[in-house]
Homo-oligomer: A and B are copies of this chain.
Amino acid sequence: MHASELQTPAAVVDAEALDLNLSAMTAALPGPRLRPHVKAHKTTALAARQAAAGHRGFTCATIREVEGMAAAGLGEDLLLANEVVDAHRLGAVVADGGRVTLAVDSPATVAAAASGGVREILIDVNVGMPRCGCDPADAGRLADTARAAGLGVRGVMGYEGHLMMEQPRGERGAKTEAAMALLVRAHADVGGELISGGGTGTYDINTWVNEIQAGSYALMDTAYGSLGLPFVQALFIEATVISVNQGHWAVADCGLKALGMDHGNPSIPGAKVWFCSDEHVTFSADPLPAVGDRIRVIPAHVDPTMALHQALHLLGPDGTVTETWEIDLRGW
């Protein structure tokens, strides 16, 4: 099948670009230096590629992602880098032989881990973004609480998400250093072998952690594309032009229900995007395309885009669909 035969909108991947991204990251962060974040693609088939490249540990954002990764045989070392108040589904994964390490940032989430049957935790430390993570000064005490509850403490994590898009690069480096100083100090109080953090925007800047949780680098989006990283756009939404208003605008069938919109409008190479509706993107271009033409839309934010699609079609250089992967880690 050729991409032009896919029902649109369809999530398609330039297989060569994906390979390039995977190789570039593995070269920079081999083996356990990278703990790929599956939230950015929600696809066990893609995670299997990352595992084949030597990254055996993964980062997850949801219980469903942990369950799905374990069921796909990728449960050797799963970090749920997020707090939960009911860990019994994670405990079931552990009972089935998966290794699950759960982030905790409060006595309540420590208690949830212990009562749910999870055996290992990381202390999640707030390094400056107003989200999860304990006060760095509380990390040691929380680790003691976890140990007293019978949990193994593997170390600390701290996500500098507020710095991923910081420009210029030098500024991103300076602020990351300051954020990571908090994490390193917390680690001294906590102990354990893991200092986990980072993302696609700081993968080669954050040298204070010993594993990087990057995910977006594999497929990319226009937000990360603006940073000048050595990763190229691999994900596109294939769309069909369904209406043309001659001399003014065209409309394709790729709208709010096919695109993560929190980072704003998507991009269309060679065109100017006007706005998106539920099932439409309105754009201008010179010349305008014709009704029936195919276009490729680039999402502004990869993660929520993946949550809206059922399948990812890999394309060879001539547009042939070489593989179709189910986006099987959606939902909760």
> Footprint of B on A, CB under 8 Å?
7-10, 39, 61-63, 82-85, 105-106, 108-109, 126, 130-133, 135, 161, 240-245, 248-249, 251, 253, 256-257, 260-262, 274, 276-280, 282, 290-292, 301, 303-304, 307-308, 310, 331-332
B130 A304 Cβ-Cβ under 8 A: no
Q: Provided the pairs A9-B332, A106-B291 are in contact, do residues A130 and B261 lie with their beta carbons within 8 angstroms?
A: no
- Residue of A7, A245, A257 with highest tally of chain B CB at under 10 A: A257
The minimal Cβ–Cβ distance linking A324 to chain B, given in whole angstroms, is: 14
Bound-state CA distance A248–B106 (Å) is 15
B248 A304 Cβ-Cβ under 8 A: no
B308 A249 Cβ-Cβ under 8 A: no
Pick from B131, B256, B307: contact of A257, CB under 8 Å: B307
A84 B39 Cβ-Cβ under 8 A: no
Q: Provided the pairs A8-B332, A242-B109, A303-B278 are in contact, do residues A256 and B260 lie with their beta carbons within 8 angstroms?
A: yes
Q: Whose C-beta in chain B lies nearest to the C-beta of A62?
A: B279
Pick from B109, B130, B245: contact of A130, CB under 8 Å: B245
Is chain A's binding surface mostly helix, strand, loop or mixed?
A: loop
B83 A261 Cβ-Cβ under 8 A: no
B131 A277 Cβ-Cβ under 8 A: yes
Q: How many copies of this chain are found per oligomer?
A: 2
A244 B310 Cβ-Cβ under 8 A: no
A278 B249 Cβ-Cβ under 8 A: no
Q: For A131, list chain B residues within 8 Å (CB).
A: 243, 251, 277, 280, 282
Q: For A161, list chain B residues within 8 Å (CB).
A: 277
Q: For A10, list chain B residues within 8 Å (CB).
A: 332
Q: Provided the pairs A85-B292, A308-B308 are in contact, do residues A61 and B242 lie with their beta carbons within 8 angstroms?
A: no
The minimal Cβ–Cβ distance linking A109 to chain B, given in whole angstroms, is: 7
